[in-house]
Amino acid sequence: MTAISVSGLVKTFGTTRALDGLDLDVATGEVHGFLGPNGSGKSTTIRVLLGLLRPDSGSVRLLDGDPWRDAVALHRRLAYVPGDVTLWPNISGGESIDLLGRLRGGLDPRRRAELLDRFDLDPRKKARTYSKGNRQKVALVAALASDAELLVLDEPTSGLDPLMEAVFQECIREARTEGRTVLLSSHILAEAEALCDRVSIIRHGATVQSGSLDELRHLTRTAITVETARPATGLDALAGVHDLRQENGRLRFDVDTDALDGALRHLTGFGVVGLTSTPPTLEELFLRHYGDELAEDGASAREPVRS
């Protein structure tokens, strides 16, 4: 059961190739993180999924429909929080929530009241007098108060304070328990780690990694710091060990997840006195992909080849 299935999606704006063969699969009922650096094409992908932009090529299916052709029917079943929430200056937050809810096909008044309370939002203010975070909350309440089976959220927590971020995470967990599907684009890795079943990382409009967090962790390295009774030798000859260095009599290195077992067996031969291991974080994975990009940056001006 897939809620979203995108393959080989290409979208150009004049000479800008915003999406360049992007793939994305979101299973029904999962919370899917959609990660990528600024300008990598997250919002563009989401707008194609909403039928606001027409793809140049590639196949896009959303809730078993064609997002361009069946836009209206599909939109009854989803709710969207845009990345940049702009509201009507003279219409109050409460009115905007009601309007967007009704245009979708109705919203639950009990849930609306409860969400206003949890997000601590004053619905009487006119949109132009809301702070950025409060504008974001208006869009969030409108989306979460709906009974949509799919939530499409483009950086929904930008501008929220940590307290509200926690409320948001709670709401997403509830949505998941209710069996809803969530596509969550984000820059906040802690948020993605806390919420997502699976993530897709994109860069330059193409998917570079996709899978469950466990699978992705598998692709990263664990950082090990070890103190041994006798000087440990021969580690550098092992495959999968990187960045080996000596610090204050301790040995530090990074090891690929599949080489972890071998490395530890090797170390026990020297009498392990102390050991700390830092599990791989999503951040590391992310930085590895972003880091490549930073390194590539100088070259990419002359050489527009994607990795």
Partner 1 sequence: MSTQLSGASARPAAPARPGRSSTTAGTAALFRFALRRDRLRLPVWVAAGTAMVALQSVSSQSFYDTPGALAAYRASVGSNAATIALAGPPVGLDTVAGAVAFEISATVMLIAALMAMFTVTRHTRADEEAGRTELVRSARIGRHAPLLAAVLLSALACAALAVAVGSAATATGLPAAGSFVLGASFGACGLVFTGITAVAVQVTGHTRSVYGLVGGAFAVFFVLRAIGDIEGNWLVWTSPIGWAQATHPYSRDELLPLLLCLVAAVALTVAGFALLDRRDLGAGLTQPRPGRPAATRSLRSPLGLAVRLQRGAFLAWALGLALLGVVYGALADSVETLIAGNEQALAMFGDPDVGELVDAYLSTTFSITALLAAAYAVSAVLRARSEEGEQRAEPVLATATSRSAWLGSHVAVALAGSALAMAASGVTTGVVRVLQTGEAAALGRMVGAAVAYVPAVWVVAGLAVALFGLLPRLATALAWAAVGLFLVITMFAGSFDWPGWVSDLSPVSWVPLMPLEPWTAGPVLALTGIAVALLATGFAGFRRRDLATG
Ligand X SMILES: Nc1ncnc2c1ncn2[C@@H]1O[C@H](COP(=O)(O)OP(=O)(O)OP(=O)(O)O)[C@@H](O)[C@H]1O
Residue 82 or 280 having the CB closest to partner 1: 82
Contact 143, 69 (CB under 8 A): no
- SS3 string of the chain? CEEEEEEEEEEEECCEEEEEEEEEEEECCCEEEEECCCCCCHHHHHHHHCCCCCCCEEEEEECCECCCCCHHHHHCCEEEECCCCCCCCCCEHHHHHHHHHHHHCCCCHHHHHHHHHHCCCCCCCEHHHCCHHHHHHHHHHHHHCCCCCEEEEECCCCCCCHHHHHHHHHHHHHHHHCCCEEEEEECCHHHHHHHCCEEEEEECCEEEEEEEHHHHHHCCEEEEEEEECCCCCCHHHCCCEEEEEEECCEEEEEEEHHHHHHHHHHHHCCCEEEEEEECCCHHHHHHHHHHHHHHHHHHHCCCCCCC
- Binder of residue 71, out of partner 1, Mg ion, ligand X, none (CB less than 5 to 8 A by kind): partner 1
Sort 209 into a burial class: Cβ within 10 Å, 0-12 / 13-18 / 19+.
middle
Shortest CB 148 distance to ligand X, Å: 21
Which 69-98 positions form the footprint of ligand X (CB under 6 A)?
Answer: 83
Token pair 């967090």 in the structure block, residue: 213
- Per CB under 8 A, does 53 bind partner 1? yes
Q: Of the candidates 91, 208, 244, 267, which one interacts with partner 1 according to CB under 8 A?
A: 91
Shortest CB 181 distance to partner 1, Å: 16
What mask, x for binding Mg ion by CB under 5 A, covers residues 41 to 80?
Answer: --x-------------------------------------
Which 2-61 positions form the footprint of ligand X (CB under 6 A)?
Answer: 13, 16, 18, 36, 38-44
Shortest CB 16 distance to ligand X, Å: 5
Shortest CB 98 distance to partner 1, Å: 4
Residue 42 or 217 having the CB closest to ligand X: 42
Shortest CB 141 distance to partner 1, Å: 12
Q: Of the candidates 21, 58, 83, 240, which one interacts with Mg ion according to CB under 5 A?
A: 83
- Per CB under 8 A, does 102 bind partner 1? yes
Q: How far apart are CA 118 and CA 97, in angstroms?
A: 15
What mask, x for binding partner 1 by CB under 8 A, covers residues 130 to 159?
Answer: ---------x------------x-------
Q: Of the candidates 76, 118, 187, 266, which one interacts with partner 1 according to CB under 8 A?
A: 76
- Per CB under 8 A, does 58 bind partner 1? no
Chain residues binding partner 1 by CB under 8 A are 43-44, 47, 50-54, 71-73, 75-76, 78, 80, 82, 84-92, 94-95, 98-100, 102-105, 123-126, 128-129, 139, 152
The residue ranges that bind Mg ion (CB under 5 A) are 43, 83
